[in-house]
């Protein structure tokens, strides 16, 4: 049996509460655990976490690659990191940059050199974080060989970002 209470006072509900209109809840009130897997939340109310990787298998070469074309009203660049399977030798270096519409999003490009670890990625500092629908994100890997010193191999750049889900 459903009982309607239209009083503008605090009410304690000991059973199921049905809301016919809008319920205003404090920020953070609804947690992930409270949402049923079958809730059927509309796609445009979701935000997605994305990871794009630009990887080279062999000796590093200068290369630019599109990592993402942003689809969604807004988004954020969350992080950029780079690594190599085999480090450069001597004075050779590899620089890794991530650009939004042709302009770097990093405070400074990531440099991989002879002392770069092959097991710990080098994190870049993201200076520009805002994303909008239509932004084109590219990775630019630049090989800077010094004489006969070897370039790194197995270079990879990872770009992490999130976007609002585009309207269906």
pLDDT in tens, 109-161: 999 999 999 989 999 999 989 999 999 999 999 999 999 999 999 999 999 99
Write down the domain spans for the chain.
Answer: 43-164
Closest CA to 49 of 31, 68, 65: 68
What band does 44 get if pLDDT is binned at 50, 70 and 90?
low
Closest CA to 135 of 83, 86, 90, 68: 68
The separation between CA 92 and the C-alpha centre of its own chain, rounded to angstroms, equals 30
CB atoms within 10 A of CB 110: 22
Do 91 and 127 meet the contact criterion of CB atoms below 8 Å apart?
A: no
Owner of token pair 């004489």? 147
CATH class of segment(s) 43-164: mainly beta
pLDDT score at 70: 93
% the chain with pLDDT above 70? 89
């Amino acid at each position: 049996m459903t009982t309607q209470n239209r009083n503008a006072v605090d009410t304690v509900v000991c059973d199921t509460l049905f809301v016919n209109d809008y319920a205003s809840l404090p920020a953070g009130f609804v947690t992930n655990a409270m949402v049923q897997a079958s809730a059927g939340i509309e796609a445009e109310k979701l935000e997605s976490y994305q990871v794009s990787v630009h990887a080279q298998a062999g000796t590093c070469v200068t290369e630019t690659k599109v990592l993402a074309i942003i689809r969604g009203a807004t988004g954020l660049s969350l992080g950029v990191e780079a690594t190599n399977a085999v480090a450069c030798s001597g004075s050779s270096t590899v620089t890794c940059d991530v650009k939004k519409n042709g302009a770097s999003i990093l405070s400074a490009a990531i440099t991989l050199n002879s002392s770069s670890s092959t097991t710990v990625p080098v994190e870049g500092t993201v200076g520009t974080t805002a994303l909008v629908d239509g932004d084109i994100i590219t990775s630019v890997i630049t090989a800077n060989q010094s004489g006969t010193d070897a370039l790194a191999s197995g270079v990879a750049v990872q770009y992490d970002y999130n976007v609002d889900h585009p309207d269906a």
